[in-house]
Amino acid sequence: MKFIKQQSTSKAPADWFTGDVWWDVIVAGEEPSRMRANLVRFSPGARTNWHSHAVGQALHVVSGVALIGTRDGTVFEAHPGQTVTCPPDEEHWHGAVPDRFMEHIAMWEATTDGAPETTWAEPVTDAQYGGGRQSYGAHATSGIE
């Protein structure tokens, strides 16, 4: 068993995010583990750029209201206690609503072939961010988790 030394909180890179975002690394697994997890704090209106994960990603909302957008223009709303999964290579974004802070635990895995874990793309526009929201309840039977 090993206790992981806690790293200092870091401000997220401005070239990957719009607005102010900070994270705490929970775990950056060492071989043979591929586990990655960060507690990410978004200021109101802050969000990621479009991006995808080679092995997928899970987001567990801790506080506030999360928005998760997909390339087809859908913006999902998730609340504390809800977990959303994004399949491998699906481009998406996530962030806080305009008037509240939001925290989520982001979980993903490293690749085994040395390929990038995350592929970053362009910023989310205000129009994409402000798209109509759908809540989880509306999709409970459609396989969206």
Q: What is the pLDDT of residues 59-118, one digit of tens each?
A: 999 999 999 999 999 999 999 999 999 999 999 999 999 999 999 999 999 998 888 999
* pTM, full prediction: 0.89
Which helix (H) or strand (E) is 63 found in, with range?
strand 57-63
Q: What SS3 string covers 119-132?
A: EECCCCCHHHHCCC
Cis previous bond, 32, omega within 30: yes
Q: What is the residue extent of each domain of the chain?
A: 10-124
Identify which has the larger pLDDT, 53 or 5: 53
Q: Residue 1: CA atoms inside 13 Å, Cβ hemisphere, count? A: 1
pLDDT digits (tens, 9 = 90+) for 35-62: 999 999 999 999 999 999 999 999 999 9
In CATH, what is the architecture of 10-124?
A: Sandwich (2.60)
- Which contiguous run of DSSP H or E holds residue 94? strand 92-96
Q: What is the DSSP secondary-structure string of 25-40?
A: EEEE--TT--EEEEEE
CA angle 33, 39, 45 (to 5 degrees): 140
Q: Give the CA angle between residues 23, 27, 29 to the nearest 5°.
A: 140
Confidence check: pLDDT of 145 > 70: no
